[in-house]
A and B are shown apart, each in its own frame.
Chain A
């Protein structure tokens, strides 16, 4: 962080003892500063709570007077195979994308860390896919996926037969786009982590004649673990609620091959105007995300404490 000039002392002529602020008012200071943000939180939480409430109503655009129906929506949706298909698709997507992006991201970070000329040039452009809107990434890839006119089949020599967004391939194609967009995210996080590591343990083990792989596995990976975990948490959470590029590429199709939970909720609430159904989907998704987040954040806390301890 850059430092600026120290504060000028006020001119003696105007210097007065500042009126002491009573202790109780000083204690309130952080609360007062947080009030606007808390108000915004409340303003956003209100529709959120309302959305949760919808899950317990029979609310649809055609229903004039929604009434409380308890857990009936949950019972209906939890016994609906389409919901479980969505859960399976979402988990398939999230696990595959997170694993591939983490492995590739670590690999790219290690390659860039060598600080060669090519590496330094590539580091500048690494993040470009990450910075364009996922929906636009979806649009671009959609143009390339087209079996007849798309450039992918042409470049890869697949003729016009390979259907990227077909029944069995669509899920992998949308994962491929996710990998394209978000692998740089993992890579820059891990790279920053590698560069913040202390050098002494590596120098010491190099003197002892340790191999590169040994150092990577026994030194770098354990010390890097908190960084990797942060990347995994962000990726996995985001994948669970994936929408943008999948929606523009397949809209959940073909059939329900890529109908993730958010797309299912969109179809229920916005297309079919079944607000309750969509909200129930989202309520369940939110519960999944919340519980996963709680678990992963506790793992992260442990890892950070361990990493901090090992540096002493």
Chain B
């Protein structure tokens, strides 16, 4: 990284450099302070939680409380179960999205066929559809057919979040893959299917991993679907965290912060691991980077 060539407009030793670093520093204080404060709050005792001190003796008891039956008593949601529910829902949604999304992305990336643009834009439009437009009818339907407050119901509706992401990211990866490689395999006597499995799929493996992990983050962070479509049995973490806010008329800032920290950790760790691929993922391949 250190020996990277300077890009356009870059100057390493400009006199304005100090000012620029100072400006960056201001942004990062603003950007990181809430996260730091959340960590501090999560380490405070009940007596200290309403104080604004930065110096105190940290305790891990809040995390224990959140994960124990005491936390469940306050929120009527078992936080450990909520974590498990989130994992099941998100992994389930990502797997279903991959199984159905990879062939569709391949088809859209390789061929221009009649209706291909319509299918792709319909999928993309999910990204911008107001969630409640779908949730209200689903709320009614789920209540009728018994999918309300179930993991299957959540996995199904999370497709709305994960599918567009996976299809659009992978389409751009398939488009970038030189068609000659597959053609060479076909000339060697591979069938189309084998050429896809043996040549195309391994080449886009980094894309698949990045798309899957990003889809996982988005699914994990979703709030509005479970808010309306789950009850107390299969509450995911995003909803469970907010339960600490009003627990029994009393505020538990430190418990809330601890719960928020636990819920925020998986996406943060995943994001740091796939940072290279984030741009393409977040822009859904609209700008290739």
Contact = CB atoms under 8 A, between A and B. Distances in A.
Q: Is B one of A's binding partners?
A: yes
Interface of A: 1-4, 6-7, 9-10, 15-18, 21, 27, 29-31, 33-34, 36-41, 43-45, 47-48, 50-52, 54, 104, 107-108, 110-116, 118-120, 122, 124-137, 139-144, 148-149, 151, 154-155, 180, 184-185, 188-189, 192-199, 201-202, 212, 215-216, 219-220, 226-227, 230-231, 234, 237-238, 240-241, 243-244, 248, 261-262, 265-266, 269-270, 275, 278-279, 281-283, 285-286, 289-290, 293, 300
Given A143-B253, A188-B279, A199 B7 contact: yes
B8 A202 contact: yes
B32 A125 contact: yes
A139 B163 CA distance: 28
Nearest to A228: B287
For chain A, what secondary structure do more than half of its interface residues adopt (helix, strand, loop), or is it mixed? helix
A262 B225 CA distance: 13
B30 A180 contact: yes
9 contacts: A36-B99, A44-B134, A126-B31, A131-B271, A133-B223, A212-B9, A234-B283, A244-B223, A279-B136
Given A197-B8, A283-B133, A139 B260 contact: yes
A48 B113 contact: no
Nearest to A231: B283
Contacts of B251: 149
B275 A151 contact: no
A7 B185 contact: yes
A270 B7 contact: no
B100 A36 contact: yes
Given A41-B122, A140-B260, 7 more contacts: A52-B133, A128-B35, A129-B34, A139-B245, A184-B31, A185-B282, A193-B289
B146 interface: no
B37 A151 contact: yes
Contacts of B107: 29-31, 33-34
Contacts of A6: 181, 184
Nearest to A55: B133
B212 to A, nearest CB: 15
B248 interface: no
A10 B268 contact: no
Given A126-B31, A289-B130, A111 B271 contact: no
B130 A286 contact: yes
Contacts, number: 327
B75 to A, nearest CB: 13
B64 interface: no
A194 B238 CA distance: 35
Contacts of B268: 128, 131-132
A43 B37 CA distance: 43
A54 B283 contact: no
Contact of A136 (B134, B140, B241): B241
Given A115-B12, A136-B264, A144 B37 contact: yes
Nearest to A248: B242
B131 A241 contact: yes
B179 interface: no
A50 B5 CA distance: 55
A118 B21 contact: yes
B160 A122 contact: no
Contacts of A290: 125
Given A36-B104, A140-B37, A128 B8 contact: no
B137 interface: yes
B11 A114 contact: yes
A124 to B, nearest CB: 7
B40 to A, nearest CB: 9
B230 interface: no
Given A112-B24, A133-B221, A282-B136, A34 B192 contact: no
B157 to A, nearest CB: 8
B32 A128 contact: yes
A125 B28 contact: yes
